[in-house]
Structure 1
Amino acid sequence: MDAVLQALADGSRRTMLEILRDHPATAGELAQALPIARPGVSRHLRVLREAGLVDVRQDAQRRIYSLRMAPLQDVDDWLGDYRALWQNRLDALHTEVARGKKERK
């Protein structure tokens, strides 16, 4: 999961994943959406592939990249415990705010 979190730390890579969330794309299509040169896009795609976040398939002379959801699900599962912790704290805050409003009336 460390490789996934490190890959997600970069804004350009997150932008690529957002595009791939909607549809598979070539490196050229991804490069058009980013203010970086094509070699930089290739380096980012390599990081995403190594982290398991994207798959690549050959289509004649083009490489088509697509999003892999499993690593993101692993991160979401890991964050679930923290989400539950914060939800409990927010519920307690809501209760205290409601109690304070009742006491003022």
Structure 2
Amino acid sequence: MTTEKLLADLGLTFTILRNNLYMDAIPFFMGKQVFETGEIVLPAGEGRASFLPREEMAEAAVNVLISKGNEGKPYNISNIYSYDYMEISVHFLIYPAKKFLIIRFR
């Protein structure tokens, strides 16, 4: 039984916010070794994800929750763009003394 169905069956008023992956969790996915070894080890292969900053998800949640007509509706909160880890690793270029190697496995 899904959460939405359970809430509806109980007669509760609800709005479901389905947040996608938080952008601030990216370092946890890469592992703590990333700055020591420069290796980004991923089980993602060529996969992509639509990360979004926590602050933007919070803003979306506030807008849904303060507006009318959202009762009983689910909202998928996600970025319209999906990133792969090659794109994300470019942001590590701010660490010029370190070279990063992406190791992909499935």
Same fold (TM over 0.5): no
TM-score by length of 2: 0.26
**Which structure is higher in RCO with an 8 Å CA cutoff and minimum separation 6?**
2
Larger C-alpha radius of gyration, 1 or 2? 1
Structure number with higher helix proportion: 1
TM-score by length of 1: 0.26
